[in-house]
Amino acid sequence: MEGAAPETESVVWREDAGRFETPDGEAFLQYRLPSPAAMDMVHTYVPRSKRGQGLAARLCDAAFAHARGRGMRVVPTCSYISVRDQTPSSPLLPSASCFSLLLLP
């Protein structure tokens, strides 16, 4: 992708599958659209052999950029996403998993 930001250039949006993934499809972020204004990010997966390379963060960044660009709010059902973006300006909507994670000691 010419001109793409380095952090999202290796992420493919698969609208038909409801996911963002690496070109080989092995690492992915699965989402649902409960409404036209919300993206429920339900699962992030990176195979053990590819962990530690920042792939989950790139998938998350691409999904957030996608949602933000379409004026959507994010429901952080996935535990990785619920703890990753805790900034005051983040477009997160509350989810049960988010609250249960934040209550852990």
CATH label of the domain that carries residue 89:
3.40.630.30
Q: Is position 1 within any domain?
A: no
DSSP-assigned states of every residue in 30-98: EEEEEETTEEEEEEEE--GGGTTSSHHHHHHHHHHHHHHHTT-EEE--SHHHHHH---TT--B---HHH
Q: Is position 5 within any domain?
A: no
The 10s digit of each residue's pLDDT in 10-68 is 899 999 999 999 999 999 999 999 999 999 999 999 999 999 999 999 999 999 999 99
Q: Is position 54 within any domain?
A: yes
Which residue in 39, 46, 78, 98 is the catalytic one?
78
Q: Is position 4 within any domain?
A: no
Q: Is position 2 within any domain?
A: no
Domain region containing 90: 12-102
pTM for the model: 0.73
Q: Which residues are CB-contacts of 66 (< 8 A; sequence separation ≥ 6)? A: 13, 20, 39
The 10s digit of each residue's pLDDT in 76-87 is 899 888 766 555
Q: Is position 57 within any domain?
A: yes
Number of domains within the chain: 1
Q: Is position 97 within any domain?
A: yes
Query: Would you call 78 a catalytic residue per the annotation?
Result: yes
Q: Is position 6 within any domain?
A: no
